[in-house]
Copies of this chain bind each other. A is one copy, B any other.
Amino acid sequence: MTDTTRGGPSRRYGSRPTMKDVAARAGVGLKTVSRVVNGESGVTPDTERRVQEAITALGFRRNDSARVLRKGRTSTVGLVLEDLADPFYGPLSRAVEEVARAHGALLINGSSAEDPAREQELALALCARRVDGLVVIPAGDDHRYLVPEIAAGVATVFVDRPAGRIDVDTVLSDNHGGARDAVAHLIAHGHRRIAFVGDQPRIHTATERLRGYRTAMAEAGLAVHPSWVSLGPTEPERVRSAILEVLDGPEPVTAVFCGNNRVTVTTVRVLAERRGSAALVGFDDFELADLVSPAVTVVAQDPASLGRTAAGLLFRRLEGVAEPPQRVEVPTRLITRGSGELPPGG
């Protein structure tokens, strides 16, 4: 029962030919095969041809696991994000992928589903696969588990949200400034009673945007009634009841500032049912925001730019740049389309 077919024309299904098999078939040494496979110089055209023929005949493909074991680098970077199906993260991921590709690297990404335990599990699984670098959109707020990995040389960049309890390169949108602009815009259009409906308070961007809301209100000398602020999951049911409460409760508002695109979309639905009873500005742009009625005024982030910037930092580190951790802020942009310019009392 010995494996006598190894390297022969009818190898067992599931086994793969190795460089050794190719070398045997081509009648050359192992190192010569390695040279051909890696396009190194110093091989006679005739030898190269024989090796290529053996490669094709056997269906050889280099095993990168073995290669990595010797070389140390995997030419792979990891991306931990919240949810690939979210239209905010798709373009971000794609941007990271393009930068990686330009550097000859592959991207592995995984979704944390907003679960800190899953984020950690994923990030460490990527480290065990020895990614050269890691881009993280964190779900949790304590990232000390990455300290040994970073010490061991895994380049690490956080994006969209900051890292907790470790000091690393970080790329963030100007959440506070963007939210402040949004709310100031509503105030400039005559609103005094403005609600903020956002994501869960343990998410950094949610609290930063809330802070921007409070700043704008305070700068205008406006009090914030506690019932106007609602943070929580972005599930449609939660958002729907939050919106109805701020619109129809004892302290009704005339305008709503939404903390992210999931919230905005549900709010647009609720307002459409009620026939536009409030002004609206959303954080994050979204497809067709210009085509609903009224068109939705937003503070746009640039997810592709966030991804590109983060990946750029990552590869700078991988190229050996050793400077203190950077903190890059990506500006936001107010896009007025109608919903944010509605007067109070509509």
- A-to-B contact residues, CB < 8 Å: 13-16, 59-66, 68-69, 74, 76, 83-87, 89-91, 93-94, 97, 106-111, 124-130, 147-149, 151-153, 265, 268-269, 272, 286-288, 290-293, 304
Contact = CB atoms under 8 A, between A and B. Distances in A.
A239 to B, nearest CB: 15
Secondary structure dominating the interface of A: mixed
Counting chain B CB atoms within 10 Å of each CB, which of A15, A62, A109 scores highest? A109
Given A68-B65, A286-B287, A13 B153 contact: yes
A152 B292 contact: no
Contacts of A149: 59, 61
Nearest to A148: B59
Contact of A13 (B14, B129, B151): B151
Contacts of A126: 106
A94 B83 CA distance: 7
B84 A97 contact: yes
A128 B69 CA distance: 14
B106 A125 contact: yes
Nearest to A57: B148
Contacts of A269: 290-291
Contact of A128 (B14, B15, B62): B62
A20 B63 CA distance: 24
A296 to B, nearest CB: 10
A74 B340 CA distance: 51
A84 B106 CA distance: 14
B74 A84 contact: no
Contact of A152 (B14, B65, B108, B129): B14
Contacts of A147: 59
Contact of A287 (B108, B124, B288): B288
B14 A64 contact: no
A91 B97 contact: no
A68 B64 CA distance: 10
Contact of A94 (B16, B60, B85, B287): B85
A291 B267 CA distance: 11
